Amino acid sequence: MAPLSGKSALVTGASRGIGAAIAKRLAKDGANVALTYSSSPERARQVAEEIAKEGGRALAIQADAADQAAVRAAVQQTAKEFGSIDILVNNAGVLALGPIADFPADEFERALAVNVRSVFTAIQETLRHMPDGGRIITIGSVNSERMPFPGGAVYALTKGAVASFTKGLARDLGERKITVNNIQPGPVDTEANPASGAFAETMLGLMALKRYGHADEIAAMAAYLAGPEAGYITGASLLIDGGFAA
């Protein structure tokens, strides 16, 4: 039997990149999967269709992570469709870079809304539909621990907040046997940060393994944390960064 057979999952921001890889991997491991998207309906439907072709059950839901009402509605729709939510993966995020002296206030507010507030909102609403023993996973960043170049202060702030939030939540939810963990990727080859991009040479110079990660590698860690063998891991921020923070 697949390790996640009979489970239901919600993955935010999963129309492409790491989120799409996680949604497909959880489905491969037997879970029903709902995935949210902000502005890429065709891509989200494609992910859902790929899951369905492999015999899985998937649901694509439009929800801007910056919109609290939309996030809550997506959680409620997932619970209504699947009956409950056993696994929540907070993947939606935005990259916020720029010198702090003139960092735009509206970009700062959006970074907080997407990278921090949406995590709080999704978790709070999901807990109303999550049975004891559930799994909460957030995709953070190695930049919560190391920011080796200027311009990343706001992004590091948001990812540091998620790391701290994870520890507090683990205490809050331990009695319900709900685990809460934070995956902290280093550079991963996606459209937003391609391994062949202009910034790639600089990033590779900061890593012990001179290559970018693959979305499937992040998905594999998420699947492990969502599965039965990871029941004793909670409150952890786990690096998967090619030695970026070493």
Tens-digit pLDDT profile for residues 134-165: 999 999 999 999 999 999 999 999 999 999 99
The structural domain count of the chain equals 1
242, part of any domain = no
Write the pLDDT tens digit of every residue in 188-233: 999 888 999 788 999 999 999 999 999 999 999 999 999 999 999 9
Two tokens at 129?
């539909």
Identify whether 133 is part of a domain.
yes
Task: Identify the pLDDT of residue 123.
Answer: 98
Sequence-distant (6+) residues with CB within 8 A of 158 are 96, 111, 112, 115, 116
Handedness of CA 189, 192, 195, 199 (dihedral sign): negative
Distance, CA of 54 to CA of 198 (rounded, Å): 36
The answer to whether 203 and 187 are in contact (CB under 8 A) is yes
Which residue in 46, 37, 34 sits closest to 8, CA to CA? 34
Please state, in angstroms and rounded to a whole number, the distance separating the CA atoms of residues 66 and 216: 26
Within a domain: residue 3?
Answer: no
Report yes or no on 246 lying in a domain: no
Task: Give me the pLDDT at residue 197, please.
Answer: 79
Alpha carbons within 13 A on the beta-carbon side of 165: 24
Residues 182, 36: Cα–Cα separation, whole Å: 19
Token duo for residue 2: 């697949």
| CATH of residue 73 | 3.40.50.720
**For the chain, percent of residues with pLDDT exceeding 90:** 95
Is 2 among the domain residues? no
The predicted-structure confidence for 42-83, as pLDDT tens digits, reads as follows 999 999 999 999 999 999 999 999 999 999 999 999 999 999
Domain assignment of residue 88, given as a range = 8-237
What is the per-residue pLDDT for 215?
A: 98
Name the band, by pLDDT with cuts 50, 70 and 90, for residue 171. Answer: very high
DSSP assignment letter at 130: P
* Residues identified as active-site: 155
Report if residue 244 sits inside a domain. no
243 located within any domain: no
Residue 200 is classified by DSSP as H
Q: Is residue 233 part of a domain?
A: yes
Cβ atoms of residues 239 and 183 within 8 Å:
no
Beta bridge partners of 182: 138, 237
3-state percent breakdown (helix, strand, coil) of the chain, nearest 5 = 45, 15, 40
Q: CB atoms < 10 A from the CB of 69, how many?
A: 10
Grouping H, G, I as helix, E, B as strand and the rest as coil, residue 231 is coil
Tokens of 169: 């939540």
Look up the pTM and report it: 0.97
- DSSP symbols for 140-195: --GGGT---STT-HHHHHHHHHHHHHHHHHHHHHGGGT-EEEEEEE--B-SSSS-T
